[in-house]
């Protein structure tokens, strides 16, 4: 795997695809800087070698049209502050202004290009647009895992114009290694904790990881499809009736492969989908009409903790309750605490997927697990066993 460490950037311009698709408030202040911070080591390596960095990213979904609200100009001061170098900004990513700004860039300097998605050619993977981007730099560095599952001009197509001079940045290399550690080289026992609302969104992941894991913990809304499929009463809990046969098939496949599946045995149920609803702990397969399971119960959390503490490699994808409501967040927090303890005892833990990453940030677990993935969709497609186009383009 060719990484940024394979190159010396002295007197070279590095064209770096970063993922600066960061949230902004109504005054265009960056409300979460983690993606910028994640790109910092790659940018600094280029500058410390004696080169310059040209950063390209998208922001939001402008759909191929210029939209001032989604201009990367809004974030250039924040990028300067985090990297510790004043960033220059240019109001386009291709054409005369971008070419002139790139040509005049001196060693040790950083240039931030305007939003790639102001051009429809970015998302369509247009080759001539990719070629124009390629003319701005000497070495192409992809450090944007969050977009590695898209065959866009800046993430995939541009790489073909750098046959010998392309590599992964530190962040993308770390993402690849973290997923490999879970899916291929992880020390056993390997445990996957899958939560979230729907079985349908996790089918491909489950089918792909059954050959790799020893334990599969299922939590969150998915639980009730499995429970109802086995004849349990789930009341008004979220349930995909059309996926019950599939749930039974997953359990059969797991048994045939020697994978132990751990489902909740008790839940915190509520009489309304509301933080202030009436609640009671119930057996997971005896939830009456008018009640719905919104969090894991105490016995379930004890069972889950026992499995997690025995594990040497842990993947966490999806919360085990409606953690956005304080009264139904305790299960997700308990799982996070168990993973924290297992990690302190030497386990490797990877957290990925939008909701679980949001939970980890909300409850302060970022520094208590081994790795938190920065790419939601890209992470999920990796777990499904797909080769991501942005990764394949560098390996090619």
12, 17, 35, 78: which one is catalytic?
Answer: 35
192 with 158, same domain? no
Beta-bridge mates of residue 282: 267
Q: Are residues 200 and 93 in the same domain?
A: no
Residue 394 counted as domain residue? no
List helix spans (H) across 192-243.
203-209, 222-229
Tokens of 248: 């039974």
Spatial distance between the Cα atoms of 57 and 49, rounded to a whole number of angstroms: 23
Q: CA–CA separation, 278 vs 321, rounded Å?
A: 16
Shared domain for 318 and 355, answered yes or no, is yes
| pLDDT attached to residue 80 | 98
For residue 148, being part of any structural domain is answered with yes
Does residue 391 lie within any of the structural domains? no
For residues 167 and 263, membership in a common domain is answered with no
Using an 8 Å Cβ cutoff, are 321 and 332 in contact? Answer: yes
pLDDT tens digits for range 184-235: 898 999 999 999 888 888 888 898 999 999 999 999 999 999 999 999 999 9
Q: Is residue 179 part of a domain?
A: no
d(C-alpha 8, C-alpha 12), whole Å: 8
For residue 100, what are its two tokens? 């002139």
Q: Could you read off the pLDDT of 93-115 as tens digits, one per residue?
A: 999 999 999 999 999 999 999 99
Which of 124, 140, 173 is where one domain is finished? 173
Going by the annotation, the residues of the binding site for (2R)-3-phosphoglycerate are: 35, 117, 150
If asked whether residues 224 and 338 sit together in one domain, one would say yes
**What's the structural domain count of the chain?**
2
Do the domain assignments include residue 393? no
Position 210 in a domain: yes
Number of helices (H), then strands (E), in the chain: 14, 17
Structural domain includes residue 178: no
Does 395 map to a domain? no
Task: Tell me how far CA of residue 378 lies from CA of 137, 319, 351, 384, in angstroms.
Answer: 26, 18, 13, 10
**Are residue 193 and residue 165 in the same domain, yes or no?**
no
User: Span 12-19, mean pLDDT?
Assistant: 98
% of the chain at pLDDT higher than 90: 86
Catalytic-residue membership of 377: yes
Active-site residue, 160 included = no
211 and 87 part of one domain? no
Three-state DSSP at 315 gives strand
Domain residues for 298? 186-383
Which residue among 142, 173, 204 closes a domain? 173
- Both 197 and 149 in one domain: the answer is no
- Name the catalytic one among 88, 177, 198, 312: 198
- Residue 203 pLDDT: 87
Same domain flag for 308 and 284: yes
Does 203 lie in the same domain as 124? no
Contact call for residues 219 and 320 (beta carbons, < 8 A): yes
Which helix (H) or strand (E) element contains residue 269? Answer: strand 266-270
Residue 8's domain is classified under what CATH number? 3.40.50.1260
Concerning whether 198 is annotated as a catalytic residue, the answer is yes
Residue 163 has pLDDT above 90, yes or no: yes
Q: Which of 13-17, 332-336, 361-365 shows the lowest per-residue confidence on average (mean pLDDT)?
A: 361-365
Residues 86 and 233 in one domain: no
Cis peptide before 189 (omega within 30 of 0): yes
DSSP-based three-state secondary structure for 290: coil
Query: Among 141, 173, 205, which residue terminates a domain?
Result: 173
Same domain, 169 and 226: no
Annotated binding site for substrate: 19-21, 35, 58-61, 117, 150
- Residue 354 is predicted with a pLDDT of 65
386 is catalytic: no
pTM: 0.87
């Amino acid at each position: 795997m060719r990484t940024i460490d394979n190159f010396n950037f002295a007197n070279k311009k590095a064209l770096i695809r970063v993922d600066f698709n960061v949230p902004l408030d109504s005054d265009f202040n960056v409300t979460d800087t983690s993606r910028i911070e994640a790109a910092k080591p790659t940018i600094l390596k280029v500058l410390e070698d004696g080169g310059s960095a040209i950063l390209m990213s998208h922001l939001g979904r402008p759909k191929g049209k210029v939209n001032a609200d989604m201009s990367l100009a809004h974030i250039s001061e924040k990028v300067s502050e985090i990297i510790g170098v004043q960033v220059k900004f240019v109001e386009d990513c291709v054409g005369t202004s971008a070419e002139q700004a790139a040509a005049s860039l001196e060693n040790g300097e950083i240039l931030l290009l305007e939003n790639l998605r102001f051009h429809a050619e970015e998302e369509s993977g247009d080759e001539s647009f990719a070629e124009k981007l390629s003319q701005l730099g000497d070495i192409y560095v992809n450090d944007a895992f969050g977009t590695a599952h898209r065959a866009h001009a800046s993430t995939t197509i541009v790489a073909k114009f750098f046959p010998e001079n392309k590599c992964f940045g530190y962040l993308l290399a770390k993402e690849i290694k973290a997923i490999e550690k879970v899916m291929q080289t992880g020390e056993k026992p390997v445990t996957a904790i899958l939560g979230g609302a729907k079985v349908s969104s996790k089918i491909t992941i489950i089918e792909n990881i059954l050959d790799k894991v020893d334990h599969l913990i299922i939590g969150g809304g998915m639980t009730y499809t499995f429970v109802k499929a086995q004849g349990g009463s789930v009341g008004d809990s979220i349930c995909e009736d059309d996926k019950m046969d599939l749930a039974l098939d997953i359990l059969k496949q797991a048994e045939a492969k020697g994978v132990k599946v751990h489902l909740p045995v008790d839940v915190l149920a509520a009489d309304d989908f509301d933080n202030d609803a009436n609640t009671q702990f119930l057996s997971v397969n005896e939830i009456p009409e008018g009640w719905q399971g919104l969090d894991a119960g105490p016995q379930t959390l004890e069972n889950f903790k026992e499995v997690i503490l025995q594990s040497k490699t842990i993947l966490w994808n999806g919360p085990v309750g409606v953690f956005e409501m304080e009264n139904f967040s305790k299960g997700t927090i308990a799982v996070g605490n168990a993973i924290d303890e297992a990690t302190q005892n030497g386990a490797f833990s990877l957290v990925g997927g939008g909701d679980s990453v949001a939970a980890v940030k909300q409850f302060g677990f970022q520094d208590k697990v081994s790795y938190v993935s920065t790419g939601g969709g890209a992470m999920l497609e990796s777990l499904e066993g797909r080769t991501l186009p942005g990764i394949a383009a560098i390996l090619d």
